[in-house]
Amino acid sequence: MYPGSNVSFEHDSALGFLTHLNSDELKALLNDDSKLEEIVKDQKQYRDLEKEKELLLASNQSLAEYNLTLQPKFEQSKQELIDKTEICGSLLKSFESKASILAEKSGKALLDAKLSSLQLATSELEESSEVCADSFLAGECDLDEFLDKFLSRRKQMHLEKVKADKMAEMLRQHQYGKQ
């Protein structure tokens, strides 16, 4: 059987005719291509192969015609895909732009919040050191305790104030640099 074919080749039936010919008839047949071709075409296997070939050609033509009927829908879908790809590209650019703006603004808001937190901590430390001084002046604590608490709180307050002032300055410079 040939690959992809439903026709089997039988050697005996194909060569059976040739076994009855004598040597001269075989030589004559060998020299006459048209006669040899006629013998081959008379074989059942050849006729079956020809029928199968015609069926396959008709099936192939039918499939090709069907595919051609799908061509407009394919082209339309292809164009829709191209259009949607372009829309997605523009949406992606818009998203990236807005995400960048949002990141910048949220970063600034985060820095503003951190600055406010530093300024609040500074004022709380200053207030705490003033309460400590008032306590000492009222005679509620001795000198050593007052000095320990007051000096540590004032030192911490000044450090926080320097940080807050430096951060505020940096934010102002960054803001003016953007304008």
Query: What is the share, in percent, of the chain residues with pLDDT greater than 90?
Result: 44
What pLDDT does 110 receive? 81
Q: Between residues 139 and 7, which one has the greater pLDDT?
A: 139
**CA neighbours closer than 13 Å in the CB half-sphere of residue 3:** 0
User: Which band of pLDDT confidence, cut at 50, 70 and 90, is reported for residue 59?
Assistant: very high
CA-to-CA distance for 159 and 165, rounded, in angstroms?
10
pTM: 0.42
Among 130, 121, 124, CA closest to 149: 130
